[in-house]
Amino acid sequence: MMRRRTARGVSFLELLVTIVIAVILTAMAVFVLGPRLQNQRLQSVTDAIELGLQKTQLQAMRQARAWTFALDPANNRYTMFAGLPAALPVNAEWVVLPATAQQVQVVAAGSTFALDNNRYVVTFTDQGFVSALGRLQLLNQGNNQLQTQVQINQLIGVVEKRCIYEGNIQGPERCV
Amino acid sequence: MRMNLRSRGGYSLLELLVAATAAVLVGTGITVGLVNFSQRNIRETNVDQEQINLRRALHYIGEDFKSNVYVYPTALLPNRVPTFSDGGAVVPVLGFWQQNPVTNRFEQVVYYSMSPPAGSSLFGPRLVSRLVVTFDAASNPDADNNRFLSSTEAEASVPTSCTVAAAVVCTVSPFGTPPASLSVFNSQALVDRLSTDGAMTAAVISNTVLLTMTADSNDLAGNSLLSDIEKGQLRQQLSTSMRNR
């Protein structure tokens, strides 16, 4: 019985066709998903910073007082606190970003938020507005083509992210 | 043997085909429905966000406007405020004077409706930007030094022939002082994604200013994504009072 069943196996041609199809499908998947996987780390850092800024703004509006967001690129972390940048508490609680500085880098040349003691700071007013516009530019160290920006380009303080693929800037809806 | 018998009693090709076709049809229906739903959801979220942005922008101007000491009548505006050159079709909409609480100097604040400057990160099709022109002590527009600006003083104190691009360039100063006496902050965008059709208007009626802002949402090709009803939801107004003497 066993012999019969094993004898009824697949032919070499069938096996070949199956393997070829599997190879083509895998190649397509790698082609489509590869850049996305590479980009994922960059996106998660960008999202974390965007969320941090939005939380800071919300906090300022809730408490009706100025709140500051501070990003410490050297130590790969950010924090938020009530008051102006000088009011950074000694025992501030820092949020660590989901990638190391070696993996995702803050590009100083493309970042225009104010610098305070090597930290990028953004202060929201009690209404959630900003007095100075700016942005942060992030670079995936593994792949120079992939960059993102977190920007505040309106005085009302809208926090937006943008993606840059090979020099082409895409709106938030186009970020992978 | 039993196994063999059972596997032989499977489905025919026709049955399989019918089942597969039915599955594809149902799957397509569900997918189309879900895609439509999510697109609708995105649109509604966008409209909500635009409404919030409009309210916040009007609120910003309202707060800014509280410290006004002189508001220009609309007709006088184009000739009394700096000319902008770093954006398309720049129209001054609201211009007023305020006194800086720290330095006590008078500042001219102007809101412009404009298209996004080339190379900027703004979407448009129109946006509102804010410019502050500060005058130094030597060019104090308060000629009689009574700490109030009369209409004569305010309307005479005009940075004529100024062009604001990356920096202000004035060929003539109304105060007989060199243009260096003006310190101009670059204009900053207040709110983006406004409609080409009356992005912002300010009607100055007796002692009240009625501000109207209309938002829009465009795709990358510049076509509006909104229906007429949604466009109607994206028009908001604010009325505020002025203190002209």
* Amino acid A166: pLDDT: 59
- Indicate if the pLDDT at residue B174 is higher than 60: no
* Chain A residues in contact with B53 (beta carbon < 8 A): 154, 156, 158
- Top-confidence residue, B152 or B10: B10
Give B95: exposed, middle or buried? Use CB within 10 Å, 0-12, 13-18, 19+.
Answer: buried
Mutate to test the interface with A, among B6, B7, B56 (most CBs of A within 10 A): B56
Shortest alpha-carbon distance between residue A62 and chain B (Å) = 15
* Amino acid A169: pLDDT: 61
Chain A residue nearest residue B53, CA to CA: A156
* Amino acid B177: pLDDT: 34
- Indicate if the pLDDT at residue A158 is higher than 60: yes
What's the pLDDT tens digit per position in A68-97?
999 999 999 999 999 999 999 999 999 999
Q: What is the rounded CA–CA span in Å between residue B212 and residue B200?
A: 5
Mark yes or no for CB contact B130/A155 under 8 Å: yes
Which one, of B115, B91, B126, lies nearest residue B202 by Cα?
B91
Q: At CB < 8 A and 24+ separation, what contacts does A113-118 make?
A: A113/A71, A114/A85, A116/A70, A116/A85, A116/A86, A118/A72, A118/A73, A118/A74
Whether the CB-CB separation of A40 and A34 falls below 8 Å is answered with no
Tell me which residues of chain A have a C-beta less than 8 Å from any C-beta of chain B: 1, 127-129, 132-133, 135, 149, 151, 153-158, 162, 169, 171
What's the pLDDT tens digit per position in B10-27?
888 999 999 999 999 999
Mutate to test the interface with B, among A129, A151, A156 (most CBs of B within 10 A): A156
Q: Could you give the ipTM of this predicted complex?
A: 0.76
* Amino acid B83: pLDDT: 67
- Whether the ω angle into residue A172 lies within 30 degrees of 0, i.e. cis, is no
Mark yes or no for CB contact A153/B120 under 8 Å: yes
Chain B residue nearest residue A161, CA to CA: B121
- Indicate if the pLDDT at residue B5 is higher than 60: no
On whether any CB of chain A is under 8 Å from the CB of B225, the answer is no
List CB contacts of A79: < 8 A, sequence separation 6 or more: A69, A70, A72, A88, A92, A93, A94, A95
Residue A20 tokens read as 């070829």
Confidence class for position A35, pLDDT limits 50, 70, 90: low
On whether any CB of chain A is under 8 Å from the CB of B15, the answer is no
* Chain B residues in contact with A155 (beta carbon < 8 A): 60, 130, 188-191
Confidence class for position B173, pLDDT limits 50, 70, 90: very low
**Partner residue facing A156 (CB), from B56, B120, B123:** B56
Q: Of the ranges A129-138, B2-11, B67-76, B229-238, which is most confident?
A: A129-138
Chain A residue nearest residue B127, CA to CA: A154
- Top-confidence residue, B62 or A34: B62
* Amino acid B32: pLDDT: 96
- Indicate if the pLDDT at residue A168 is higher than 80: no
* Amino acid B186: pLDDT: 56
The single-letter code of the amino acid at B76 is: L
Shortest alpha-carbon distance between residue A30 and chain B (Å) = 25
Q: Can you tell me whether residue B90 is helix, strand or coil?
A: coil
Q: What is the rounded CA–CA span in Å between residue A139 and residue A137?
A: 7
Chain A residue nearest residue B192, CA to CA: A154
List CB contacts of A88: < 8 A, sequence separation 6 or more: A68, A70, A79, A81, A119
